[in-house]
């Protein structure tokens, strides 16, 4: 199950509907072999993600997405939660000329792969492309 939590101040920046986001995330989970897993996504502003970044990673400033794997002992159903900065998503799209839908899906796929236990590298980058394609096809 996909749980979406949105901040009122940034929810309008989401480039697709909640239904499309849920369908896209479920398709991405299936594409990476985690069909039916529970994931929560929090759509936040830069201030919130900067606080999370400082608290959990001891890094200053905002980032685009953070992944928090499940800490439930023995949980095989809930893989964790994501925080996606809508401010940073918008800024990166403007700075780099990226399509908002594709960039959002790419960040979400990247975060979900971290939840699934992947680290940066060729396998993760290849699976990101597979997940983004699946997400696009479902929305």
**CATH code of the domain containing 31:** 3.40.390.30
Assigned domain for 51 exists: yes
Predicted model pTM: 0.92
Distances from the Cα of 9 to the Cαs of 66, 87, 88, 115, 120, in angstroms? 19, 10, 14, 26, 31
pLDDT of residue 136: 92
Q: What does the alpha-carbon distance between residue 53 and residue 59 come to, in Å, rounded to a whole number?
A: 6
In a domain, 139, yes or no: no
- Per the domain annotation, does 123 fall within a domain? yes
**pLDDT for the residue numbered 74:** 59
d(CA 105, CA 21): 9
| Cβ-contact 65, 110 below 8 angstroms | yes
Six token digits for residue 128: 């990101």
> What's the confidence (pLDDT) of residue 75?
61
Q: Domain of 68?
A: 2-133
129 in a structural domain: yes
> What confidence score (pLDDT) does residue 19 get?
92
Is residue 103 annotated as involved in ligand binding? no
Residues with pLDDT less than 50, the chain: none
Q: Is 114 annotated as a binding residue?
A: yes
Residue 138 covered by a domain:
no
Q: What is the dihedral of CA 58, 70, 110, 28, to 10 degrees?
A: -160
The Cα–Cα gap between 79 and 118 comes to 12
Radius of gyration of the chain (CA): 14
pLDDT of residue 9: 76
77 belongs to an annotated ligand binding site: no
pLDDT for 73: 62
Number of domains in the chain: 1
Residues 6+ apart with CB under 8 A from 90: 13, 100
């Amino acid at each position: 199950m996909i749980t979406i939590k949105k901040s009122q101040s940034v929810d309008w920046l989401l480039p697709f509907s909640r239904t499309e986001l849920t369908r896209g995330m479920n398709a991405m989970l299936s594409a990476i072999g985690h069909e039916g897993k529970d994931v929560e996504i929090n759509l936040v502003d830069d201030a919130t993600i900067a606080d999370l970044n400082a608290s959990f990673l001891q890094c200053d400033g905002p980032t685009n997405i953070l992944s928090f794997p499940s800490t439930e002992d023995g949980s095989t159903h809930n893989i964790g939660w994501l925080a996606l900065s809508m401010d940073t998503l918008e800024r990166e799209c403007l700075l780099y000329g990226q399509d908002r839908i594709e960039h959002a899906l790419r960040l979400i796929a990247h975060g979900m792969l971290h939840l699934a236990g992947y680290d940066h590298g060729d396998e993760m980058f290849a699976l990101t492309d597979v997940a983004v394609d699946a997400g696009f096809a479902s929305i």
